[in-house]
Structure formats: C-alpha cells, structure tokens
Amino acid sequence: MATESELIQKRQEVKAEILALKETIPSARIFNQLGKAFKQNSFGYWLSNFILLSLILLSPWIFIGLALKEIEKTIPVFVTGLATTEITVLGLVTAHIAVQAILDDIASRIVEKISSVDDLSKILLWLKQTWSTQNVVTFVLPLCLFWTGLGIPSLSLPIHQFVGFGVSLTVFLVGLVGGMMFYAPLWASLLASSLKAYQYDLNTFSPANSEILSDISEMLTKGMYMMAAYAAVLSLFFSSSLYDQKIKTFIFPVMAIGWIVILAQFLLTRFTLSEITNRAKWVTLNRIQKKINVLEATSDLSDKDTAERLFRLADIHKQIMASKTNTFDLKSVSTLFSQLMLPLLGLLLGNLDKILKLLSK
C-alpha cells in the first residue's frame, strides 16, 4: 500500500503531466502557433488566432477560385460560407477554452482527491490516450468527410451547379475544424463516465456531501454551460438573414442535437456521482458489518459493553445506509433547465423581428 509521501509525490507528477498535456492537444498546437506573436490568452492572441485561422480556411476558396475562375459563380453563397466558417472557428475556440478549463480543474482539484497511486496513473493514461493524435483523427476524419459530403451540395444547390474545387477544399478544412470542435463534448462525456472508476477521499459517514463530488459537478457544469452558450450562438446564426430558408431548416436538428448532448452529459455526470457515492457507502457499510460479525462471534453478547458497541455500530450502519445516494436535486435540475434554454434563447433572438411583428398584431 502506498505511503502518504508516495501519494503526494505521485499527485505532483500527475498534475505536472496534465498541465503539460494542455499544450499538446490539437487545438492548443494550432492556437499557440498562430498566436505566438502575442502573450498566451491575451486579446491579441485570440484576435490573431481568429483572423489567421479564418484566412487559412478561406484561402482555397479565394486563391483556387481566382486561379480557376470560380469566384464569380460562388458570390451568391460567399456570405453563407463566410458565416459558417466564422461560427466554426468560434466553436473551436469555445471548445478549446472549455477543455483547457476542465484539464486545469482535473490538475488542481480532482487529482488532489484521488486516494490511490494506481488510479492517478490510470487517469493520466486515460487523458493521454483520449488526446492522442490517433484517437482524435479516428473521430475527426469521418466527421469531416460527412461534413464535406453535406456542405458541398448545400452550397451548390443555391447556384444550381458545382460550387468549385476551391470552395470544396475550404469546406473540407472547415470540416476538420468542426471535427475537432465536436470532439470536445464527446471527450467531456467520456470523462464524465470514466471518473466513476477512481477512488477518492470521501466523507465516510455521508459520501454524497464530499467535496470531490461538488468539484466534479462544477467542473463538468462549466463545460456544459460553454457548450450551451455556443449552441445559442449557433441557433442565432442559423435563424439570421445570413442563411436562406432551405438552410434554416437545419436549425431544429442542430438544437435537438445540442439538447441531446447537454442532457446526455448531465445524466452521465449524475450517474457518475451516484456511482461514486454508492460505492463509498458500501465500502464503509461492509467494514462496519464485518466488525459487527466479528464482535458477535467472539464476544459475550450478554456483556453490557459488548451490547453497547453492537448497538452503536448498528446505529452507525443504519445512518450511513439512510444517507442519500441520488445526486438529483433542485439545484441540478435548475442548472440543466438553464442550459437547455440557452439554445432556445438564441433561436428567439434570431427571430426577434418576427416575434415582435406577431405580438404587435
């Protein structure tokens, strides 16, 4: 069994490795390269990233379009393509900030509460594997191809002809960025599920009131709020005049997907917290039950002190058994409701003129 000093040392090592991992994930490599002229996370850093990444994505459309004389026929869909590119870049920025915040919380809050050296190694290995180039590409590439397969026809239909090779390459590059963006909520959901596998320092008599459960909930809730806010912006963009009526039909599937992801992550988080609580309860209950059994088998039950010890252990057993395991409460439900309402708010703001006109009748 690891000593306290070994555990402390391992925690420090894992924290350092997680903080180093933050700089090696795909989005960090992209942003650190494009924003290297500025201090990290400064206004200049994000502005340069936004502008340069947008230019990189649009450059095939512009330069190949000029070389092959495709620009003129794509003018009617340029605003739509530009808006889609910018909202995707914004999505990658949002996903990156959310992942960075989660990794920071894991290093500063979660690792500190893991009580097993083996589990510290396991969570570090899990993080490295899920952010390995192979695993990220395995998810991003098929999604990018699907994105491209939908995007090219979506831009070709309004102009009644093939949109061109330059635009097609831009759609493909935007699909890669979109794939990295969508990987973040998938990763967060997998993280929410994986956290139940580790041992934590918990309140022995009331595991549900342990600090680590609050830490896990707050960490994942922050990520969900960022995702919900982005879904709101997405709804606003899709319902704006930048998109024609045919493309606007995608807004409800987009909202539905956003709601499904938010709800799925919420349920995964609640399930994980309940699993951690329930496991900790039974560890303590089984330990008490073992003491009761040993005392009953080796002691004289007619002895007053023995009887008192048995009653005391039985009372503790009863109190722990009665302590709550379910982490659903009014606060968590209200948080979920507010997250689900953000995409709807974006839709309402995007159609504010229609709503005002309807109310004025």
Q: Where are the domains of the chain?
A: 1-201, 204-361
What is the band of 345 on the pLDDT scale with cuts at 50, 70, 90?
low
- 85-99, 140-154, 344-358: least confident range: 344-358
Per-chain mean pLDDT for the chain: 83
* CA dist., res. 20 & res. 103, Å (int): 10
Neighbouring residues of 133: CB distance < 8 A, sequence distance ≥ 6: 26
- Check if the beta carbon of residue 234 is closer than 8 Å to that of residue 185: no
* CA dist., res. 23 & res. 44, Å (int): 19
Residue-level pLDDT at 205: 77
What is the band of 330 on the pLDDT scale with cuts at 50, 70, 90?
low
Higher pLDDT, 187 or 246: 187
Q: What is the mean pLDDT of residues 155-183?
A: 90
* CA dist., res. 3 & res. 71, Å (int): 68
Q: What percent of the chain has pLDDT over 70?
A: 83
* CA dist., res. 148 & res. 173, Å (int): 9
Q: For residue 323, is pLDDT > 60?
A: yes
* CA dist., res. 74 & res. 156, Å (int): 9
* CA dist., res. 88 & res. 96, Å (int): 12
Terminal CA-CA length for the chain: 75
Q: Which of 174, 181, 160 is closest to 94 using CA atoms?
A: 181
- What are the two backbone dihedrals, phi and then psi, of residue 12, each rounded to the nearest 5 degrees? -65, -40
Q: For residue 171, is pLDDT > 90?
A: yes
| Six token digits for residue 74 | 């794509």
Q: What is the mean pLDDT of residues 136-151?
A: 92
Query: Within the chain, what is the greatest distance between any pair of CA atoms?
Result: 100
Residue-level pLDDT at 23: 92
* CA dist., res. 336 & res. 330, Å (int): 10
Higher pLDDT, 79 or 333: 79
Residue-level pLDDT at 59: 94
Q: What is the mean pLDDT of residues 279-292?
A: 82
* CA dist., res. 35 & res. 45, Å (int): 5
Determine the Cα angle at 154 with ends 254 and 166, to 5°: 120
* CA dist., res. 120 & res. 85, Å (int): 39
The burial class, CB within 10 Å (0-12 / 13-18 / 19+), for 328 is middle
Q: For residue 168, is pLDDT > 80?
A: yes
- pLDDT tens track for 24-72: 999 999 999 999 889 988 999 999 999 999 999 999 999 998 888 888 8
Determine the Cα angle at 44 with ends 38 and 47, to 5°: 125
Higher pLDDT, 320 or 84: 84
Q: For residue 124, is pLDDT > 80?
A: yes
Q: Could you tell me how far CA 143 lies from the centroid of its own chain?
A: 18
What is the band of 250 on the pLDDT scale with cuts at 50, 70, 90?
low
What is the band of 325 on the pLDDT scale with cuts at 50, 70, 90?
low
Residue-level pLDDT at 346: 62
Task: Look at residue 200 and give its three-state secondary structure.
Answer: strand
Q: For residue 356, is pLDDT > 60?
A: no
Higher pLDDT, 259 or 180: 180
Beta-bridge mates of residue 200: 114
Q: For residue 304, is pLDDT > 90?
A: no
What is the band of 119 on the pLDDT scale with cuts at 50, 70, 90?
very high
Residue-level pLDDT at 243: 55
What is the band of 180 on the pLDDT scale with cuts at 50, 70, 90?
very high
- Work out the angle between the directed axes of helices 251-298 and 304-322 (0-180°, nearest 10): 170
| Six token digits for residue 300 | 């004289």
What is the band of 2 on the pLDDT scale with cuts at 50, 70, 90?
low
Q: Letter for the amino acid at 236? A: L
* CA dist., res. 276 & res. 327, Å (int): 10
Q: For residue 256, is pLDDT > 60?
A: yes
* CA dist., res. 136 & res. 139, Å (int): 5
